[in-house]
Every structure is written in structure tokens, then in C-alpha cells.
Amino acid sequence: MTIITRDVISAADRLIGKAVVTPLLESPVLNERVRGRVLIKPEIFQLVGAFKFRGAYNRLSRLTEAERAHGVVAFSSGNHAQGVALAASMLGMPSLIVMPSDAPQVKVDATRAYGAEVRFYDRARENREAIAQALAEERGAIVVPAFDDPFIIAGQGTVGLEIAQQARLLGAQLDVAMGPVGGGGLMAGTSIALKARHPDIDIFGVEPAAFDDTRRSFEAGKRVAAPAAGRSLCDSLESPMPGELTFPILRENLTGVLTVTDAEVAEAMRYAFNTLKLVVEPGGSVALAALLAGKLQLAGRTAVIILSGGNVDPDLYARVIKGEV
């Protein structure tokens, strides 16, 4: 299925009165630092504290009454889990989330609080997709992927649709857009919407240096996985490979892929807290990290960056802010 702007607009219609229309923020201090104009899209203010609710609700709202009766199964380290759990609760259907046993406790607790059943797995020894598929078959449920689904991609694309509309109201001509890439759902959908309104915009995905599968895939011209590299501070961006549906969209619409280190991410989190007064999780901070680290020169240009989520473990966050990470 080819995802086009009309699909994103349809998703936006579904989300009216359900999802938060997050604002575009601006910081004179940040503008001065990068010698350009930065518009910040804070999806930390979205329901469940991350953009993932958009795609989850768009996908689940398309299920038939018969499908809803059997519920849904998803696999996620946290934000997609919460998005599916809340969307399922709002639509009156059961949900089961397959989560890694080392997922941040704050995300596990929130997923359960939204009404989902949680099934843990060992990410080093078990396959989460296989577990989810087996559980879905056992229950007659629908598997809801984190990114490789047309309705998920279109739902995440409403971030880009809002950015384009809000930038127009601000009289801003966007030159650059930056956001995180894990599996690629957010930037695939967002790039579709932004390119429709700003054909000449340069769009960059940003990912952890230790999980640079999208960058490697761009260089190879096909989907490839990054070598096993342990863990990243950005637990939400550890997808091993871009999606089958998302990668062709990313390859067509993105100018390139930037990478950031854990140290650069931690510095961005501190900057967001101390200067922007925003709480942003590691994976949600990568676009800001790339900007602050000078990975992209912005002098004289206008950029929009997406802070994709704010669900960070409290103990980890405290250590980051204290400069211990």
C-alpha cells in the first residue's frame, strides 16, 4: 500500500478530539546558539507522553467490531506499548503488550495503568515478534506493529501535518526538519506530510551512533542491520533495521541520516531541562542533540525539530541531569 498525503489527512480526521494538537515552541536562547530559527514540536505533551498514540489510535480505530472483541497484541519497549494500551482502552478492547524484561519501569507501569496486560520477554534470547504472533493466534487478536503498518505511518504523519499548518500560521518557511528514526514510522509519515507542503525542505533522521541501521541502509541502498552493539541510552530507538514499508519512504524523502552519541544525547537532555524547561527522554532528544553538537549547520535557516517523547526512567533522568551519565 502506498501511503500518500490523503492518508495522513484521513488519520488527522480520526484523531480530532482524541489526540493532543501539540504546539510549536521557540527559544530565543536556542536560536542565538545555532544562529538560526528553531521551531520545537514537543510530542512530550501528547497523550502517553509520546507521538506513538497517534499511529496506535489511527490503526485501532480501523478495526471492525468483530476484531475489537478479540483485542490486539503489540510488542514494544514502552511508548508504542502505552499508545496501544490507551487507544485500546478508549475504544473498548483488550490489549496485550510484549515488553522486554529490562524495559524502563516507568513505561511498564504506565502501560499497565492504561489497562493492558503485559507479557515480558528476554531481548537477548527471545524473539518478540514470534511471541506476539503466537499470542495473537492463540487469542484471535490482531498484531499491531510499532511502525511497519500503513495506518501507523499515516497516524504518525499527523505530526508533520500539524507542523506544516502551524509553521504557516507563524509565517515560517521551513528549510530543515529533524526527528528520530528507530523503525522509521514517525519520519516516514512526517516526511510525507512535510514534503507535500514544503517540497524543497531538507529532512534528516537522527539515530544513536550504536544503532545506525538507517544510516547504513541509506549507504547500502537497501535495508541492512547495524552490528550488535550492546545497548544505547536511547532505548526507544534500538530497532535493528528500518521497516519494509518505512525504508522506501525514508529513502525517497529524507536528505540524510545523522547519528549522535549517548554523551551528546545526555547533554541535550540537560539542555532541554535547564534551558528549554522540558523533560525529554533519551530517544526523544536526538534531534536536539544533533543540533547542539553541530551535526548540521543552521545559520540563517529555519528548522523544526521533533522532541518525540518524555517517558524517561526517573532514576536515569536524575543521573543525567546531575551529569553522571
Q: Quote the percentage of the chain above a pLDDT of 90.
A: 90
DSSP code of 18? T
Q: What is the pLDDT of residue 295?
A: 96
pLDDT of residue 29: 98
Looking at the DSSP assignment, which residues form a beta bridge with residue 205? 179, 257
Mean pLDDT of 219-234: 88
At 39, is the pLDDT very low, low, confident or very high (cuts 50, 70, 90)? very high
Q: Is 191 a catalytic residue?
A: no
Better pLDDT: 228 or 36: 36
Whether 95 sits among the annotated catalytic residues: the reply is no
pLDDT of residue 103: 82
Average pLDDT over residues 11-40: 98
CA 30 to chain centre: 23
The pLDDT tens digits for 103-143 are: 878 888 999 999 999 999 998 899 999 999 999 999 999 99
Report the chain's mean pLDDT, rounded to a whole number: 95
**Percent of the chain at pLDDT above 70?**
99
Given the residues 52, 107, 217, 239, select the one marked as catalytic. Answer: 52
C-alpha cell at 273: 531541562
Check pLDDT > 80 for residue 18. Answer: yes
What is the pLDDT confidence band of residue 150, given thresholds at 50, 70 and 90? very high
pLDDT in tens, 180-205: 999 999 999 999 999 999 999 999 99
Cα–Cα dist 288/271, whole Å: 9
133-149 in b/e burial notation, b at 16+ Cβ within 10 A?
eebbeeeebbbbbbbbb
CA atoms within 13 A on the CB side of 203: 29
Chain centre distance of CA 284: 7
User: Domains along the chain?
Assistant: 5-50+151-321 (3.40.50.1100), 53-147 (3.40.50.1100)
pLDDT at residue 238 in the model: 87
Give pLDDT tens digits for 71-112: 999 998 789 999 999 999 999 999 999 998 988 788 889 999
Catalytic-role residue among 217, 277, 308, 322: 308
pLDDT at 1 over 70: no
Check residue 49 and give its pLDDT: 96
The per-residue pLDDT for 123 is 83
